[in-house]
Every structure is written in C-alpha cells, then in structure tokens.
Structure 1
C-alpha cells in the first residue's frame, strides 16, 4: 500500500469528514474536525500547515501544525482513518509535522489530549511526545453583581510578577491559553499581559502584595449539535495564593464575564489538589476530568 504525505486540498474534505464524524461515538463529545476543516484549508499559510496521508482513493489520516511563536508549534487534529490503522499513519504524519515545524525555526511542539482518550495518549507517546502538564476548567457563573473582597486591578506587571513566583506557573510549566489559536497553550509572557491590559483583560488581586492573577484571552460563541448558540468568556489561566485570594479572583472573573455579555465562563486552572479544592471552596463548578498537555523537543531536527 502506497501512502503519500502532502498538504490538504479542497477535494479531501468529504473523505476526511466521513471518518471523523463519529471519532468518539461512545462519548458525549463530538469531533470538531468536520466543523473546522474548510476554515483550516482557507487559512493555510506560512504559519499553519495541514498534512494528509494520501492513500490514492482515500485519506488515511490528517494532522495540523500551527506556529504560535518564533519557537513554539501547536500540533492538533491528529486523526487516523480506521480503515488504515496499523500502517504507521500517525507516526508518518507526526514526523512530517515535526520536520516542517523545525524548518520554520520551532524548538518545541505541543499538543493536548483529553485524559480519557487513552488511544490518543498512547499515540502521542509513541510518536515522540512526552508529558508536560495537566489542567482543568473552573466554570464561574457570570454575575454582574459579584464583588471581590480584595482589590482587583488591571496591572500586567503585578500579574506577571505573581505568575513568575506562583505554584501554578511551576505546575503549568509557564503555559497558558494562547491568544490567537483556540484550544492551544503557549508560553505566557509579560508582553502578552501588557497587550491584554489595554482591554482590561488582566486581573491582579492585591492585599499587601499581589496574591492572584488571571487574564481573559478571548470571548466566543459556540453552536451545539442541537443548534443552540452559547456565548463564552475564556480566561487563559488562573493562579492564586490561597482560598481567600481564589474567591476574590473568581468573583472578579464572574463580574467580567457578565460585562462581556457571556452566558458561560471558563478558566484554565492547574490540576493539583490545592487548586481544585480551592475552587470547590469558592463554590465554583469545575470540570470532572483534566486535560493533558504533551510536548516534543524539535532541536535535533533543525
């Protein structure tokens, strides 16, 4: 069987949709690939490359690489056509993505896998990714009347200083949600926080010093498979010193989400016993399962 790696084409859409419509048929989560595929094709360029494995009359698999910075690549959308399992599809595609990213100057590639996706985790480890970190989503209810007990300011320097010394940064290896690519994480920088502060999207909780921080990375709308559209305010990371600081931080984010007109809010938090239990103490809902981030060193490919 001859399988050829190449860039995606318009004519590949039907074949890819056919084998990604029920990727996780046993879970209450749909695959986003059929919804985003045409957008991926339209936005192909120097910083984004979608690879397919051409089997002649079918597509054996696909994956996409996106440059998030001058040295970070995000790997996503790795899917293997069930009819071609056992033919090294994921390894072939991942190697192509790694080589492309390294040629663009990237030194690291990362991806994200649901913790319950055992097949995806095994696939990632087998193709060169190693464990990096894990996180959950805190889900504060938007509330325009929420009142933090502590002072909250849009101070990027204070937020950055706290982030650098926080337990959250250590656990998350310096990563927060990316500002441009949805569902991707990249290294949080002071420059990013300064950019966000101009839109009042940075939150530094203070009392005799800075005790918590967060940033809003985007607002968006999501339409469910049932046709219901919901709006979201998404916060790229939450870090805090103790339960009191957590309560004030989440009150500030609840208020901000309401001001953004959001129906829902979600905050990336470290997957540690302290952080998850602090969220519970603040009476903020939290996702039932974590997500895993893995990474691969690309320096040997440059």
Structure 2
C-alpha cells in the first residue's frame, strides 16, 4: 500500500466514494476547497488498483502549535488492517516536523466508532453542545504530540 501527499486532483476520486464508504450522505462536509488549499498536508492511501483511504488535514494558520484533522476515510475493503492508524501517525509526523505540538479533530456524538478510535489513538474527548450551531452537538478531540 502506497501512502502519499494528496493533490487537488484526488478530490474527484474521494468524493465519488465517500457516501458509499459511510453508508450515508457525508460529501457535503468535504468541499473541494480542502484539497485545493490543504493537499500538501493531506494524505492518500492507495493500491495500484484502488483508493484505500485518505486523511484531509491541515496546519492551523491561526493556532501555530496546532494541526487539525478534518476528514478521514478508509475503504471498507481495507478496514481493520491498521490503515487509519497509519494515516494518523503519518499526519502526526508531518505536524511535528512543522513544530506543532497538538492535533485536534471532532465528530458527532453518535459516531461511537470514531470516538473509540480517537481515544485509542490517545486523544481526549470533550462533549461540546451546539458547537456547530443550534442542535449541532460535537465531540472535540485533542491530542498532545510528543517531541
């Protein structure tokens, strides 16, 4: 499996499969601008024949110690083999190389799989009521990066 930095052209590959991978409509939370402006800090995992997964993340321009993971997906055919962990660890390395000491992310309180994964990866989880507007609760994740 090859892991590489994303390119803006990867957006079409990702958006074509993301709803199927989730089993529901989620493409609206991944607009093209993320791959246009943050492709150098986003990752693609692929085999010669298939998109295996991706991570869309960026180095915060406003919080100089922080990196942010916006969206991660793993093809159902490749789940359970440690690919999500590999994507995260690669992003952590990228963030450390830029002097970042923290990584943040968020999810819906209903996404128990994401909450369990982030906790297993060393993130702390904090509930946040109305974080993204009225009746839009989230779970905020924070992880300190070791030097």
- Using structure 1 for the length normalisation, give the TM-score: 0.43
C-alpha displacement at 1:109, in angstroms? 0.5
Structure 2 residue matching 1:21: 3-state secondary structure: helix
Mapped to 1, the partners of 2:74 and 2:51 lie a distance apart of: 9
What are the ranges of 5 or more consecutive residues in structure 2 without an aligned counterpart? none
- 2:111 counterpart residue number: 117
Residues paired across the two proteins, number: 144
- 2:10 counterpart residue number: 12
Contact 2:41–2:59 under 8 Å retained in 1: no
Please say if 1:135 is aligned against 2:128. Answer: yes
- 1:91 counterpart residue number: 85
What are the ranges of 5 or more consecutive residues in structure 1 without an aligned counterpart? 138-176, 178-182, 184-265, 267-285
Structure 1 residue matching 2:54: 3-state secondary structure: strand
- 1:171 counterpart residue number: none
Q: Deviations over 1:170-214 (max 9, x none)?
A: xxxxxxx8xxxxx7xxxxxxxxxxxxxxxxxxxxxxxxxxxxxxx
Match of 2:45 among 44, 48, 53: 53
* CA pair 13-42 structure 1, distance change in 2 beyond 3 A: closer
Mapped to 1, the partners of 2:81 and 2:100 lie a distance apart of: 28
- 2:99 counterpart residue number: 105
Match of 1:31 among 27, 30, 33: 27
Mapped to 1, the partners of 2:100 and 2:53 lie a distance apart of: 23
Mapped to 1, the partners of 2:26 and 2:9 lie a distance apart of: 23
Of structures 1 and 2, the one scoring higher in RCO (CA 8 A, sep 6+) is 1
Structure 2 residue matching 1:110: 3-state secondary structure: strand
Mapped to 2, the partners of 1:53 and 1:111 lie a distance apart of: 20
Equivalence map 1:133-212=2 (5 Å): 133-137=126-130
- 1:291 counterpart residue number: 138
Mapped to 1, the partners of 2:68 and 2:8 lie a distance apart of: 23
- 2:19 counterpart residue number: 21
RMSD over aligned CA atoms reads 2.3
> Greater Rg, structure 1 or structure 2?
1
Contact 2:35–2:56 under 8 Å retained in 1: no
Mapped to 2, the partners of 1:56 and 1:42 lie a distance apart of: 24
C-alpha displacement at 1:11, in angstroms? 4.4
Contact 1:75–1:109 under 8 Å retained in 2: yes
Mapped to 2, the partners of 1:19 and 1:119 lie a distance apart of: 19
C-alpha displacement at 1:124, in angstroms? 1.5
Mapped to 2, the partners of 1:63 and 1:125 lie a distance apart of: 18
